[in-house]
Structure formats: C-alpha cells, structure tokens
Structure 1
Amino acid sequence: MTDIITTAASYYLKCYLSPYTSKYEDLTICIRNLSERKHGALIVVERKDPLELLIRSNIPIGGTLSHSLIESIFFPGNPLHDGAVLIRSETVVSAANVLPLSDINVSDRKLGTRHRAAIGLTEQCDALVLVVSEETGQASFAISGALHPINVVAP
C-alpha cells in the first residue's frame, strides 16, 4: 500500500510542478541524487502566491535552475546548505532562506526542522516545498500544509 501512495504522490508532484517550471526533470534528478547521498535539502517552488513576506531571504543566486546547481548548494559543509532554496520558474532566486515553522503536533512522529519548515510555509501559501531527509534520505513534498513521501527511484 505504501508503494501505491508514494507512486501516486510522485505523479501528483509532476502535475503540481509542471505549470510553474519547465525544469521539472532537473528537480527530479536533483531530488533523486540528494536522496541517494542522504544530503538534506529544502527546495521551495513558488507558484501563484508571492513569497517575499513569508520567507526571510538570505543569499541572492539568480542562476538558471539545474540539478548541478541545487546539488552543489546542498553539499554538506557548503555555507548555504542549511536554509531553503527559492525557485521561481526556471531561476534559483536565492539560497539559505529561512521559512516559517509549523506548530503542528509532532508527538506521533518525529519531524525535523526542514520538514516543519516545509509544512509551515505551505500552511500559509500555495508554494510547493521539496524536502530530503538528511538522516534517512527519504524525499517528500509539502503542499497545503501536508507532507507526502515520494518515490525517487530511477526509472
């Protein structure tokens, strides 16, 4: 049953992303590579709602979205790897961003700061946030205040 849920979530992820970036494949490759290496990541994809008032911006990037760029930002030890990356269309706008944390009750399962930040931002806007767990390598996405595991295995 879990495989069906993660496969369905992977399908919906593509549906949620494709209207907002043509670089969906780069994001998929990036998430798969980060997951395999257990490099934690937090990637915000802006959709219709502007995010300037919700995200505390840090380091401007302004580069074209590619899996290599995102993977290098989240390489352990990189000064930018602890915050979130903001993507608008095909551009990596900024890195090391701070997101609002969710106040959800986490007593039933342990959620790290990245996951709480992903949920927290999506409780307040329509952004989609991709998360890779540093401990397990599990990839997920948050939308509308809910977290969904995704299958990132190569086809």
Structure 2
Amino acid sequence: MSATSSFSTCISREPAPVVLRCPALLPSSVLPSRRWRAAVVLRVAAVSRATSAEAAPAKKRQPRGITKPRPVSSELQALLGVKEIRRTQALKQIWAYVKENNLQDPENKRVIVCDEKLKKVFGGRDRVGFLEIPGLLNPHFLK
C-alpha cells in the first residue's frame, strides 16, 4: 500500500482521538509534520461540513413568543399605525418615535418624557423609564 492511499483511507474514516501526554517532551520524529496536520484538519473539516449539510435540511420555524405578530389595542394602533405587530418590532418603533420627536430627558437619556400619544399608551404617565416600557406594553397586546 502506498503512502497516499493509506493517508486517504486513514482520513476518510472517523478520526480517532489522539492523546499525547506531553507533546513538548516527545521527539519531533514522533509528531506528524505541520503540512500533514494541516491536510488532515482541512479534510476533516470538509467531511464534517458535507455531512452536516446533508443531515440537516434548512426549514423555517414558525414565529412564537415575542416574535409572533399579535393584534394590538386601539391606543397602540394610533401610535404605530398597524393592527398587528411583533412585540420586538413594536418596541423598536416606539424607540424610533421617541428619538424622532426628541422625547428623551436631556439629563437622563434612559427616561422618556411622554407626549399625548405616549401618555395614552403608557397609562397617563408623564415620564417612563427605559426598563418599564415592555411591561407597560403588555396590556396592549391582545390574545
């Protein structure tokens, strides 16, 4: 058997783990050359990519949880302009509205000073903290 055929049969099988107690103490003649190790790594990577691509066909998961579009209340519809939206997108659009209308407190950017539309959504509150927004939006998403 030639060196190349034994190399390819060795690589095509499942790689066996090699445990070296202390590679630094072994003579260089025992360790494989850098070129050989690079070829093995490339071959194993190519084989693993090919088998993983065949084994797992890509299928689209249905959105669920906060990524599932839900119908919203009339107050939130007036602010966002849509009847159904994902929670994540609603939060993004509210932040865009706040920044567009310059409604952040100049001293503390994590606090929103509400205008009339936001007061309807946030229960009549004048100021709302950054971390309070998702909790205040929950009642506006209908089940």
Q: Same fold (TM over 0.5)?
A: no
TM-score, length basis structure 1: 0.23
Query: Given the two structures, how large is their TM-score scaled by the length of structure 2?
Result: 0.25
Task: Select the structure that is richer in helix.
Answer: 2
Larger Rg: 2
